Amino acid sequence: MTFNLQQLRAFVTIVEKGSLGRAAETLYVTQPALSRTIHKLEEEVGAPLFERHSKGMQLTAIGSALLPHATLLQRGAEHAREEIDAIRGLAKGTIRVGAVASIASHVLPEAVGRVLASYPNLRAQIIEGVWDRLADGLVTREIDLALSLATQDTDEIVAIADCTWHDTSHIVASLDHPLRRHGELDLADARDAFWCVPPRGTPPHDELQQLFASRGLEPPEITVETRSITMLKSLVTRSHFLCWMAEPMYMAERAAGAFDALPVRDVQVKRTLTAFRRREGSLPGPALKLLDALRSMPR
């Protein structure tokens, strides 16, 4: 079965916008023209892709099965077009990268800045998230590089061995947190405080659990779980919460006198972070330029 990229783009846009009318506006075509395009795609597939309702269009089972493949093919075509146009000097290339918060807070902005200063024709699309979000972005070609904690390679994703960094995580607290009145603390002293961390299954949450277990202590009760870095920092600064956080993530707050590491005896965890790519295929030119900049960053 051979797919027409124009038809796939129309299909994906309807799914994204939820209705034929909004999709037609996005694609700058009339609704009848867009409807004919989808009808041709349905003829090619041999089954309806949408159930049409007064409030919009919903995917059929066949449509749901086609969607991830259509998205992947569309992104691949867009990336190829950008690469060819960039080589010909006709258009800007795009750096597509994702990173965990600690790298997004320090290493990545500096590296992107270096690349864009040297290659002003480029632009960047950046997502921030935990590993499962970044891995999905690589597989679906939403991003070309993922910067995250070192982990095992998979059938689809591999680490770039010569592009690694290290950071250290600490318990952080506001500078006026009551626990600071006691000087140097033991880990047990922090157990009963209010805690906020990212949700279960994320590296910070798991590291905190393992830290307490390694000292023979029950883990603290997590009062607030959130993926929002802004919320975590606000809870630490404004509401006397403790949080487990990598040092690059709170350099600005330390400099501003908002919060810093809590003086807990022998409590810090060093981590290794690295760059990942898809196992198959080659990296686009913009991603290679970012990779070169990342390799030159201080370790």
At residue 296's C-alpha, the angle toward residues 75 and 299, to 5°, is 110
Q: What is the pLDDT of residue 1?
A: 59
d(CA 31, CA 4): 19
Same fold, 94-165+272-295 and 167-269: yes
Q: For residue 71, what pLDDT is reported?
A: 81
For domain 94-165+272-295, give the CATH number.
3.40.190.10
Q: What is the pLDDT of residue 90?
A: 42
pLDDT of residue 69: 82
Domain spans of the chain?
A: 5-74, 94-165+272-295, 167-269
Position 91 scores a pLDDT of: 45
Q: Write down the pLDDT at residue 59.
A: 87
Q: What is the pLDDT along the chain (299 residues), one digit of tens a residue?
A: 567 888 888 888 888 888 888 888 888 888 888 888 888 888 888 888 888 776 667 888 888 888 888 887 777 777 677 666 656 554 468 899 999 988 888 889 999 999 998 888 888 999 998 888 899 999 888 999 999 988 889 999 999 988 998 899 999 999 999 999 988 899 999 999 999 999 988 889 999 999 999 999 999 999 999 989 999 999 999 999 999 999 989 998 999 999 999 999 989 889 899 999 999 887 888 898 899 999 988 76
With CA atoms as reference, report the closest residue to 71 among 145, 130, 134, 3. Answer: 3
Helix (H, G, I), strand (E, B) or coil at 292: helix
pLDDT of residue 276: 96
Class of domain 5-74: mainly alpha
Angle at 76 (CA atoms; ends 92, 98), nearest 5 degrees? 70
Please give the single-letter amino acid code of residue 144: D
CATH superfamily of 167-269: Periplasmic binding protein-like II (3.40.190.10)
Helix or strand or coil: residue 55?
A: coil
Q: Using an 8 Å Cβ cutoff, are 94 and 286 in contact? A: yes
Q: Between the CA of residue 161 and those of 18, 81, 165, 176, 267, what are the distances in Å?
A: 42, 29, 11, 42, 28
d(CA 134, CA 56): 31
8 token code pair: 């796939």
Instruction: Find the helix packing angle between 61-87 and 5-17, rounded to 10°.
Output: 120
